[in-house]
Amino acid sequence: MVDANLGRLLSNRYQLVELIGRGAMGRVYRAEDTLLGGVVAVKFLAQTLLNRKMRDRFKTEATTCAQLGQKSIHIVRVMDYGVNEEEVPFYVMEYLQGESLSDIINNQPMAVLRFLSLARQICLGLQCAHEGIRIDNQVCPVIHRDIKPSNILVSQDASLGELVKILDFGISKMLQADGAGTTSYMGTLAYSSPEQMEGKELDARSDIYSLGVMMYEMLTGKMPLQAETHSFGSWYKAHHFQPPRAFGVFNLTQKLPNGLEELVMRCLEKSPHDRPQSIHDVLKALTPLEQYYSGNRQLSKDIGERLAKEVSSGVRTVKPTPKSNDSSSSSEDVCRLSSWPKNKPIAQIVFPQILTSSQGKLATLWVMLQEEEIETLKAYRLYNKVYKNFLCSMAPHPMVLWLTAVYNRFHHIEKGPRWLRCYLDLKDPLGHEMLRLLSTQGEYQVLFFALEKPQNCAHVITVKLPMAQCNLMQEWVITSRNWHSIGEPTMSKNMLQAEFEKLKPKVSAELETQSTKSSLNLSDVER
């Protein structure tokens, strides 16, 4: 049967090309945006659900995803809403290509490192929803109510690798101060919390239970609970009275860290009070595990590369050291060979620069200061305290304020920290690439040049970035790629500058305190 929608032009803009999905709630088409170009997805409400209640719910879903999609790259982004000639509502969202998490699991356990990466991204999306959206000047947390593998899409991104998107907020619930309680069950039986099956008013802890079921399935390929039949009554009994199966009953090929097993089991507690109380608590438990496994994998890779070089060169024994130390040292060596650009003035300025070497690209920050200050930073480097931060504003124009502050009590005690500031315009190829390098490399080098001797680099400091900051910057990289600027870059710069002025006094005081404590500790060591 020929689909009459194919080829149709919606809102004089979206041309329907192909039916890519259908379900009880409606159909999804791949479409071309004839106004701005590119491919989008268009979702229609099913003809059988064209009553007022379902129309309102459909519009709420579009509104929710539109707001949440602007805040997180881990939630499908909605860009437009409308009604066609037959009065059937539709909304336009980003076109996603990838695999459903349910297809990826397919009864197979997932490697721990991959699990940690995907679970973190799912949590970031859920955290964004639970933080809420603004409705009638009130911030309302959004509870998804249907977290399960088929509502998680995993796509491939050129910058980040695997990128997670949470789909289908069709039965999500906004928590409002004057909102009425939930009086009927909605959800998916195998993933629903005990309180959800009772039709109670839900909070974030219900989504955490569903997340626990899904995480268990990701790690084992199996479900934590087994209902006698696929009926509401059987699943009600399982979720309320059946304890989750221990991880040890499965003959897993990989050993799971105890902390991870404990986290999943806590998420599966029957009482909401016994679970993690927020997604932030779940992320807090996942982050150190991901850092540990990522570090071990990198170290194993480095040792393998060293052994391969030894075999090819005939050398049999070399004591391996972690790459993190080697890479920073070699990067600093490359930076020390740099010369001040001829197109830059001899003045106290700060600017970002991508430095290309035989090792690849480096994210660097170049600064020119008086020689006396640089010599102090070199001579008393143990007293150097460095603050680093990145402030971002996507609207009206995608812009990042890159902040670095250096404080040394032997030079800055009267004037305060040396602030090194620059902006990264995320619609400019250089700014976009710089942020990508920062987020993937997890560090940057600050190159100091002396006003009195400007030709060669006088000093280099390597600044390490925490994983949480890198993950956030990766989100900005992705979000800015398809973000449409609605104002001048200077407007975003002014907003970020105002935020910096609020932050500045507190940071200055903290750096001074840290430097004083460090000085006292070093004095004790010297004695």
Active-site residues, by number, are 146
Q: Which secondary structure element, helix H or strand E, spans residue 194, and what is its range? A: helix 194-197
d(CA 39, CA 64): 22
Q: How many helices (H) and strands (E) does the chain have?
A: 14, 20
Eight-class DSSP state of 276? -
d(CA 208, CA 185): 17
- The three-class DSSP label of residue 370 is coil
Eight-class DSSP state of 342? T
d(CA 67, CA 131): 12
- The answer to whether the CB of 6 falls within 8 A of the CB of 17 is yes
Q: Please report the beta strands in 133-253, taking only residues with DSSP state E, as ranges in sequence order.
A: 133-135, 138-140, 142-143, 152-157, 161-166, 173-174
Tell me phi and psi for residue 164, to 5 degrees.
-95, 140
Please report, as a single letter, which amino acid is at residue 509. Answer: A
- The answer to whether the CB of 465 falls within 8 A of the CB of 438 is yes
Buried b (16+ CB within 10 A) or exposed e, 128-146: bbbbbbeeeeeebebbbbb
